């Protein structure tokens, strides 16, 4: 039997991202250089607090200002912090193919409201999912079991009914331990073929 739901990670799977872009954009209005700002933002304890729901957006911005001396407007901060993404065309196309053939999909991401606001406004793929489990709303980040439980609760599925695509081995391993089918994403063409093999009945209609 094919899986009932395909669960996609967001960053480095559907969208590339680079916190260096935000750091360089924030630097001209800051007292610290882009390298220091990137340390404050990129997979830092401060970002972890934001993405796990321990810190709200206003608190995050205030702490970044304290750490960097940033003096720009709130709108500029939100725009520069959010504008770090670019599409992975092959993966966007794969998601579109699944949707055209009636496959349910869920977005499962360690992320934050600032990023989501930007992505929702710029990238239509975000709104094309059947559901979303986002760490800052769930109060838990992958690979925390609570995040995976939230996916199962949302979809009403468990074990091999779920096919999970993520680029981080520790996240994939947490899904595998729950009996999910898993694909460690490394290259779009390889992931595309691996996903397609899970749906043999659709082999004649894939584009």
At 28-45, the pLDDT tens digits run 999 999 999 999 999 899
- What is the DSSP-derived secondary structure letter of residue 140? -
Residue 206 has pLDDT above 90, yes or no: no
What is d(CA 92, CA 125) in angstroms, rounded to the nearest whole number? 7
Domains of the chain in sequence order: 5-16+87-202 (3.40.50.1000), 19-82 (1.10.150)
Closest CA to 5 of 95, 127, 111: 95
What is d(CA 85, CA 16) in angstroms, rounded to the nearest whole number? 5
At 161-202, the pLDDT tens digits run 999 999 999 999 999 999 999 999 999 999 999 999 999 988
Q: Which DSSP string do the residues of 9-40 spell out, in sequence order?
A: --BTTTEEE-HHHHHHHHGGGSSS-HHHHHHH
The tokens for 94 are: 């794969």
């Amino acid at each position: 039997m094919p899986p009932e739901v395909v669960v996609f990670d967001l960053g480095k799977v559907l969208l590339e991202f680079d916190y260096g872009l935000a750091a360089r954009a924030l630097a001209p209005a800051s007292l610290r250089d882009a390298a220091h700002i990137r340390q404050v933002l990129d997979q830092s304890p401060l970002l972890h607090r934001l993405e796990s729901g321990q810190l709200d957006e206003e608190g995050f911005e205030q702490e970044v200002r304290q750490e960097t001396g940033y003096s720009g407007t709130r709108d500029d901060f939100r725009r520069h912090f959010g504008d770090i993404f670019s599409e992975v065309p092959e993966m966007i196309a794969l998601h579109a193919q699944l949707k055209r053939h009636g496959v349910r999909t869920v977005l499962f991401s360690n992320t934050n409201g600032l990023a989501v606001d930007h992505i929702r406004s710029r990238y239509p793929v975000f709104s094309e999912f059947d559901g979303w489990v986002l760490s800052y709303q769930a109060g838990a980040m992958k690979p925390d079991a609570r995040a995976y439980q939230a996916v199962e609760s949302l979809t009403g599925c468990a074990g091999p009914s779920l096919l999970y695509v993520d680029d981080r081995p520790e996240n994939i391993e947490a899904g595998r331990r729950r009996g999910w089918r898993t694909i460690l994403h490394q290259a779009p063409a390889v992931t595309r073929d691996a996903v397609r093999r899970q749906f043999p009945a659709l082999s004649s209609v894939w584009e």
